[in-house]
Amino acid sequence: MANAATPVRDTWERHAFDTIKGSDYLADQDAVETMCQEAVDRVIEMERLGTLFSRTKDGKIAQRPFGGAGFPRTCYAADRTGHNLLHTLYEQVVGSEILVYEEWYALALVVAEGRCMGLLALDFFKGRIVPIHAKAVVLGTGGYGRIFLRSTNAVINTGSGCFLAYQAGYLSRTWNSSNFIPRAFTERTS
């Protein structure tokens, strides 16, 4: 989300090419084009909503190269970009009075006639399992970085959200395109 084409030399087309190439050409190319075309507007929107991005000496949003990018197009907020974006979005959700299930855990997707109709969730505070009917279900569960022995991912990132989809019969064609950046290093002691 925090990748945006630098207006000076970069273009959304170059950004899209880097993204698709970086996925070994497995990414959904239409989705990548949309993301790259909208990237600058989304970064500006997040800034206006309250995300404090790092700045250059002349006050512009700082950008750096990331991964296989051909240009420094990754906007960042020190070393807490995801954290800052998450909190900005959470503030907007709460401010818009959208219902948030705090401390709930999705246990299973409910599928009927090939369509996801909702989910079963555990309410940690009350210790009960509750069915939740929904017209649409969007899983944004944080990935599965904790399946590895060493990871900088949050402890909750166990892959359980991906497993929910798999268990319900929704096979993803992009499991191999998961955003995993191995940054956990260890020293040899012997």
- d(CA 28, CA 177) in angstroms, rounded, equals 10
- d(CA 85, CA 120) in angstroms, rounded, equals 28
Q: What is the mean pLDDT of the chain?
A: 85
CA-to-CA separations, 103 to 60, 121, 126, 156, 170, in angstroms, rounded: 38, 10, 10, 12, 25
Laid out side by side, the sheet with 128-133 consists of: 104-112, 115-123, 128-133
Q: Are 3 and 76 in contact (CB under 8 A)?
A: no
Q: Are 62 and 6 in contact (CB under 8 A)?
A: no
78-86: long-range pairs with CB below 8 Å, 24+: 78/54, 81/2, 84/51, 84/52, 85/1, 85/2, 85/46, 85/51
> Which tens digits make up the pLDDT trace of 21-30?
888 888 889 9
Residue 2: count other Cβ atoms within 10 Å of its Cβ: 21
Q: Are 94 and 77 in contact (CB under 8 A)?
A: no
> What's the length of the chain?
190
What totals of helices (H) and strands (E) does the chain contain, helices first?
4, 5
pLDDT in the model for residue 74: 92
pLDDT in the model for residue 1: 46
> Which tens digits make up the pLDDT trace of 126-178?
999 999 999 988 887 777 888 888 877 788 888 888 889 889 988 665 555 55
Angle, CA of 149, 150 and 152, to the nearest 5°: 140
Structure-model confidence comparison of residues 1 and 174, the more confident one: 174
Percent of the chain residues past pLDDT 90, beyond the cut? 51
Q: Which residues pair with 106 in a beta bridge?
A: 121
pLDDT in the model for residue 174: 56
Report the predicted TM-score, pTM, of the whole model to 2 decimal places.
0.72
Structure-model confidence comparison of residues 147 and 13, the more confident one: 13
Q: Are 26 and 177 in contact (CB under 8 A)?
A: yes
